[in-house]
Amino acid sequence: MTEKRCVLEAKDLVFSYETTPNVIRGISMKAFPGERIIFLGGNGEGKSTLLYLLAGLFPPESGAIEIDGERVDPGKDVPPHLRKKTGFLFQESEDQILGATVYEDISFGPMNMKLEEEDIRSGVEKAIEMTGLEGLEERPTHYLSGGEKKRLCLASTFVMEPKILFCDEPFNSLDSSMKEKVENYLWDYSLKGNTLLLATHDVDFAWRFATRILLIHGGQILLDQAPEDFFQHKPLLEQVNLPMPLLLSLAETMGCKGRPKTLEEFIEEQEKNRHRTGALRDHV
């Protein structure tokens, strides 16, 4: 059987800020096509820094990164053909927006890729449609709401059609309906076989969305498992102050045997549980 080719590989990454040494301490990992990898951990544990390192936005002190099988030279910028394969959704939308209008901002990335004008226009229109920004093309970016700004950032990332998408706290300061929309966009993007790497505090989202969860603590990976296994390590999670997902805790408290990821699954589990306890009562 042939081994699946990894799209991103990090080997022994070490990184320090001038003011904070050893923010990342020897992290190695691999990411494969279609994976949805979530970095969980507290504030200041190095999640965002790790994302920056993996995306080649920070040069590591030591260690190496390979994007789609090609090694990124340490201390050098990621070459354009590799840059096209990665996209980054930043925590603060304001940091990401550069264009005066929505249309202009989305076109910035493809223009840097020196694509043909027709291709750029069709890509921009596709990204606008994908993120529901129709009708806002000419709007100045500073008159957008928080949710619209986040969608614009997504559109400007999607337009590059990156194989690997990095997201730093993608739901930062979004209301619940906008969170749902952004989550759906990320689902759609992942289902096309792209790889997603996200840093978040949201354990409920990690539980239902991830294919793999990495626990980052003190600049190291403490756990790297599928969500079903990850949340079995209760003592360790308690130690690093990471709560259990709400639906999982509720299901366990109510004595359900299954491990529901969505509300529908939870209701189904509860129904099963009611039948089971009813049958047991009848039997007694």
Partner 1 sequence: MKKGVILLWRTLVYSAFFQLLFDFPGAVYSLVPGAVTALVLSTTKVSDLMLIDYTAYRSPLRRIEGLYKLIFFLFCLLLSISRVSGRFSLSLFLFQAILMIGPGKVPLKRYLRFLEAPVMFLLMGAIGIALELDVFPLTVSVSQASFFRAQEVTRTALCAISCLYSLSLSTPLNQLMQTLRKIKIPERMIELMIVLYRYIFVLFTMYYPMKRALIMRGGNNLRGHGMLWSSLFKRSYERADHSMRSMLSRGYDGSVQFLSVPVATARGLLPMLVGMALVLAGAWLL
Name which of 150 and 208 has its Cβ closer to partner 1.
150
Tell me which residue has tokens 């223009």.
111
**Taking the complex as a whole, how short is the minimal distance between the CB of residue 78 and partner 1, in angstroms?**
8
Cα–Cα distance, 250 to 270 (Å, whole number): 10
* Beta-carbon count within 10 A of 97 CB: 19
Residue numbers of the site for partner 1 (CB under 8 A)? 52, 55, 57, 77-78, 80, 83-84, 86-88, 90, 92, 94-101, 103-105, 107-109, 111-113, 117, 120-121, 124, 137-143, 156, 160
**Taking the complex as a whole, how short is the minimal distance between the CB of residue 203 and partner 1, in angstroms?**
26
CB 10 within 8 A of CB 224: no
CB 47 within 8 A of CB 41: yes
**Taking the complex as a whole, how short is the minimal distance between the CB of residue 212 and partner 1, in angstroms?**
23
In whole angstroms, how far apart are CA 158 and each of 29, 42, 185? 24, 28, 10
Cα–Cα distance, 163 to 158 (Å, whole number): 10
Name which of 28 and 112 has its Cβ closer to partner 1.
112
CB 163 within 8 A of CB 33: yes
**Taking the complex as a whole, how short is the minimal distance between the CB of residue 145 and partner 1, in angstroms?**
12
**Taking the complex as a whole, how short is the minimal distance between the CB of residue 47 and partner 1, in angstroms?**
16
Q: Which of 132, 188, 179, 187 is nearest to 155 (CA)?
A: 132
Name which of 113 and 178 has its Cβ closer to partner 1.
113
CB 61 within 8 A of CB 14: yes
**Taking the complex as a whole, how short is the minimal distance between the CB of residue 56 and partner 1, in angstroms?**
9
**Taking the complex as a whole, how short is the minimal distance between the CB of residue 185 and partner 1, in angstroms?**
18
Name which of 156 and 200 has its Cβ closer to partner 1.
156
The DSSP call for residue 143 is: G
Name which of 101 and 225 has its Cβ closer to partner 1.
101
What is the H or E stretch that residue 54 is in?
A: helix 47-54
Name which of 94 and 271 has its Cβ closer to partner 1.
94
Name which of 73 and 95 has its Cβ closer to partner 1.
95
Q: Starting from the edge strand earliest in sequence, which strands make up the sheet with 36-40, in order?
A: 86-89, 164-168, 195-200, 36-40, 212-217, 220-225
Coil, strand or helix at 246: helix
